[in-house]
Structure 1
């Protein structure tokens, strides 16, 4: 009797499998190259050289200089360092601009700043899930320290107008941070093209391990450390470096730099095929977010008459997610989808289908059939 087949994995915005090249590169630093990068002897020097090489690889992916890359444990730490670090470095500026669709790794630091007297402007989004540039510009004040907006939304994949906002903000002396956790490795991302001062990178979103990320800090940007300790990462992020994972992040960055454009085009075609198949056989299916300005791998759709969580439970052949939250048996709609003006009852039908490097046309076809079948079984007779 054959073992049951694993479901089709369409949750790459949550996490991605390690690239084979990443595993191969990491293994020596999990086995024989165990030195502390801060040690002066040969074991330490080997580790330091590996960290420096990875720093250059991440920098190349972003079009940055190696000295502008700082390694951290994850995107949450990077966002905290960017937001709280700028606020600490510019205590005379007590205003921050962000949006209502940010990841908690941004909203929670902003809420913490609010508790201590910093004014935070929470920008709304339009029906496509995008911040309006005009409203972002209107929010800027003489005491604005930072604008922090995600590059791509984790649920809808919608891309924000970072370059346009950054151009206006920086012309007024305001720093700009973008959480690019979802876009780096899926799209070509250039720190100079976006015009940002700080940018968050998360390894496990594009084939590197969990527990490692990076913060790009443009040379000359005022920033104070959030964690206190020794002088690692040029005094900005104390703590002995996670060498093996940093090596993995470097190799994933190198692979992405070489392949991102081709992979983006391939995933865009597969995403289009999935959308076409679902829309043809699910009357009333609606796309959440902008039709064009979104990640090439992300399809967030609303199924009519059912909840997204019930749909996925009825389609065990597919591993995907919803943006809704369940508490004590009650389901609440995604705040990201309702922020776009969607009624909560309709928003409950949302499902996020996010593709990756391992996704094939066969996967897309199988997933579409499973989701369509589940929707038909759950839908009331028409």
Structure 2
């Protein structure tokens, strides 16, 4: 006799598959929104400042000030993806690449604030806090060391600018056909971007540009926030599996898995913050998680590259150039610092030293967080503007 249950139609899909499918469609829609937002910022920047972008950011022509702007902006927003996308949009609107490069470098430092704050959750246990704080600040020390090496090289020789410029010209403007010839993204985003820009032009003068920038920035915030949220839901289990399988299998596996996990969840803050509790509990040592953490620097650069696809026309080369600067800066830093034993150990030594001080006196942890990410950068910006 047939089982009555057998007569009930069954879906061929597993219960969670349709939900996952809708979430993936939402991710695609949010990526489209991100690309539209970057176009809006570029267009709004042009409307607001015209050809005066260089003069507007003359105070940031000092590379140290540009660096501090990147640090403070990312520390306040807590998303290097948002800041790098914003910078791509501003470059598309006329911001010189040479001014934008130190800002991109600064965003690397600002984003490490999240995992440093996460480590404070272990503050009640001296030993746990020592392990957690060292795991968090090794990222700080690595990024600061990368800037100490590459910012002077950039100021003297324009290393990243030249290499990224050559690559972007080859990809966008070289040969008989280039990726900019199709202007596919322009056509795809035109209905949304064009409609919003038309609405904003109803405002008088510079206010139209400022309003367009504000809408673009709001859309970047929303899209990146919800892309990250959805991808965490969809991929966090897989990301944790990669993390656990890769850590302890050597530095290259650690760097590669850190890059991959960050690309999956679209947030270096999430990737590195996953490591802090594991380090605090003693599950992994500082030396084991170090490659994973620096791999996250490379993984997070995918967002700026994605944002650069929003830009068409004559400025497409510059938008791609600054996105490639972000990639090259992180790839070169990992290759050089991790490839030279003497340099490789400096972030580890710095993190251990600072964690020892902070474990004895918690005041040092507060001074580090406030000083590196807010007080010193803002003081330097203020002094430069006044002078």
Report the TM-score, using the length of structure 1 for normalisation: 0.25
Larger relative strand fraction: 1
Larger relative helix fraction: 2
Structure number with greater CO (CA < 8 Å, separation at least 6) is: 2
Greater C-alpha Rg: 2
Report the TM-score, using the length of structure 2 for normalisation: 0.24
